[in-house]
Copies of this chain bind each other. A is one copy, B any other.
């Protein structure tokens, strides 16, 4: 399951609002609904009376903000960020939005994605005397803007956007406007909505539902939106490429209630489950899903197969940063951390266990073992995506190829390694049809690089999948 690498990937959530007097507070609720996209840090910057002020910290949104800190963030425009990982190091400094003040004006920056030529750009800038305060690739973008000699700020942004490569959804706030930019391939989701006369932007539409906003449209790949008191202006900073939205948004990341590029995630997952039941049926007594991402898939599998859906695995909800991990000794005695099998449900049963992926295989093996120890007589593993065989350079650190079990072993070998009675992956075709995004469509295309190794962009030579700068 992808959750096994969550400590490493770079996925984030961003939210912005322009034109509402409670901008910071609404950003708080928006970020809160995006919390599943990043639990390591959170921040908000608001624009008020010609100046920006912000607050950020390590931890959950509810840890970072108190009523007083929110009240201090006055103004009718704000952007916010939740950060998934501390990869890149630096802790607090790397929490976004990054706020850049200067004698002539300030700007704040929130970024979801991963720049594939960040190191090259950074080395060049440092050679010219620039000082970086963070180890994040996001700061590179700010320096490029400041170094630009273009006469207007929009011109400086476009010049900077033309220099960076990879996956990026940017929100940039100044005293004058909220700027929104999505990379030419549209690797990450980014939606535009309305709340009364205010504009909102968010990584997922669940942030609109929680604040009562209505969905307007997707931000287009290569588009630069300038939202100000004059309304929304749309420009292009790059010619549009075929859409390459990340498959994992549907399979793993996004909240089931979100619509990602117009498609409801729960429904997409149920369809993945139904298709999986057709492609890879199993003789079994119950279907169970690995929470949270595979619950909808399992329900779909159950519906299509007629095998009853039961709660054979439970995720412990309150596992946060302060949870005390069991010692090795206790784990060997059977103490479970995040996931427990439900003995009374699986004992004596043939179980179909639905999961979203197999990365290194260790987690899958652990779950299979867990189910058997709880009495399952057979465990049939069904994966709602094709095998992951290649690393991702667009924001998900599936590390090096050597660690990917599917890069080295056949399905049958993996089955043996994880100890399952049977194992099946969903076909690429099945996945695309279930989600409803044909690969080749310029409008509704999907990034398949981790399954195929065909990367939609150049990958910078010096780049490591996860930007870690010493």
The distance from the CB of A340 to the nearest CB of chain B, in whole angstroms, is 4
A63 — nearest CB in chain B belongs to which residue? Answer: B322
Q: Would you call A123 an interface residue if the criterion is a C-beta within 8 Å of the partner chain's C-beta atoms?
A: yes
The distance from the CB of A144 to the nearest CB of chain B, in whole angstroms, is 9
Inter-subunit contact B131/A146 (CB<8 Å): yes
The 9 tightest CB contacts between A and B, nearest first, are A212-B334, A129-B147, A257-B342, A133-B133, A266-B311, A257-B314, A62-B322, A259-B344, A209-B340
Chain B residues, Cβ within 8 Å of A41: none
A94-131 residues with Cβ-Cβ distance < 8 A to B are: 100-104, 119, 122-123, 126, 128-131
Per a CB cutoff under 8 Å, which of B70, B266, B270, B469 touches A101? B469
A67 — nearest CB in chain B belongs to which residue? Answer: B324
Inter-subunit contact A342/B209 (CB<8 Å): yes
Instruction: Classify the interface of chain A: helix, strand, loop or mixed.
Output: mixed
Chain B residues, Cβ within 8 Å of A25: 324, 326-327, 330
Inter-subunit contact B256/A311 (CB<8 Å): yes
- The size bracket of the interface on A is 35 or more
Q: Would you call A458 an interface residue if the criterion is a C-beta within 8 Å of the partner chain's C-beta atoms?
A: no
A313 — nearest CB in chain B belongs to which residue? Answer: B257
Inter-subunit contact A374/B209 (CB<8 Å): yes
Chain B residues, Cβ within 8 Å of A119: 103
The distance from the CB of A461 to the nearest CB of chain B, in whole angstroms, is 15
Q: In the complex, A264→B66 CA distance in Å?
A: 40
Binds B, one of A26-34, A162-170, A403-411: A26-34
Per a CB cutoff under 8 Å, which of B61, B210, B318, B340 touches A35? B318
Residue in A32, A205, A341 whose Cβ sees the most chain B Cβ within 10 Å: A32
List 10 interface pairs A-B (beta carbons < 8 Å), by A numbering: A67-B324, A101-B469, A126-B146, A205-B344, A210-B316, A210-B336, A211-B336, A212-B333, A212-B373, A303-B308
The distance from the CB of A297 to the nearest CB of chain B, in whole angstroms, is 13
Residue in A267, A296, A327, A335 whose Cβ sees the most chain B Cβ within 10 Å: A335
Chain B residues, Cβ within 8 Å of A103: 119, 122-123, 126, 469-470
Given contacts A103-B126, A196-B333, A209-B343, 17 further A-B contacts (CB under 8 A): A26-B330, A62-B322, A62-B323, A128-B129, A129-B130, A205-B343, A205-B344, A206-B342, A209-B340, A211-B334, A212-B334, A212-B335, A212-B336, A214-B343, A256-B314, A257-B340, A264-B311
The distance from the CB of A359 to the nearest CB of chain B, in whole angstroms, is 24
Inter-subunit contact B101/A130 (CB<8 Å): no
Q: Would you call A451 an interface residue if the criterion is a C-beta within 8 Å of the partner chain's C-beta atoms?
A: no
Inter-subunit contact A317/B146 (CB<8 Å): no
Q: In the complex, A126→B330 CA distance in Å?
A: 41
Q: Would you call A299 an interface residue if the criterion is a C-beta within 8 Å of the partner chain's C-beta atoms?
A: yes
Q: In the complex, A94→B310 CA distance in Å?
A: 38
Inter-subunit contact B314/A209 (CB<8 Å): yes
Inter-subunit contact B130/A62 (CB<8 Å): no
Q: Would you call A239 an interface residue if the criterion is a C-beta within 8 Å of the partner chain's C-beta atoms?
A: no
Chain B residues, Cβ within 8 Å of A63: 322
Interface digits, A198-212 against B, CB 8 Å rule (1 contact, 0 not)? 000000011011111
Inter-subunit contact B333/A195 (CB<8 Å): yes
Chain B residues, Cβ within 8 Å of A316: 32-33, 210
Q: Would you call A447 an interface residue if the criterion is a C-beta within 8 Å of the partner chain's C-beta atoms?
A: no
Q: Would you call A320 an interface residue if the criterion is a C-beta within 8 Å of the partner chain's C-beta atoms?
A: yes
Residue in A130, A205, A341 whose Cβ sees the most chain B Cβ within 10 Å: A130
Inter-subunit contact A318/B62 (CB<8 Å): yes
The distance from the CB of A157 to the nearest CB of chain B, in whole angstroms, is 14
The distance from the CB of A376 to the nearest CB of chain B, in whole angstroms, is 13
Q: In the complex, A205→B101 CA distance in Å?
A: 38
The distance from the CB of A323 to the nearest CB of chain B, in whole angstroms, is 5
Given that A129-B146, A296-B311, A309-B299 are contacting pairs, would A335 and B60 also be in contact in the complex, using a CB cutoff of 8 Å?
no
Q: In the complex, A103→B143 CA distance in Å?
A: 15
The distance from the CB of A288 to the nearest CB of chain B, in whole angstroms, is 10
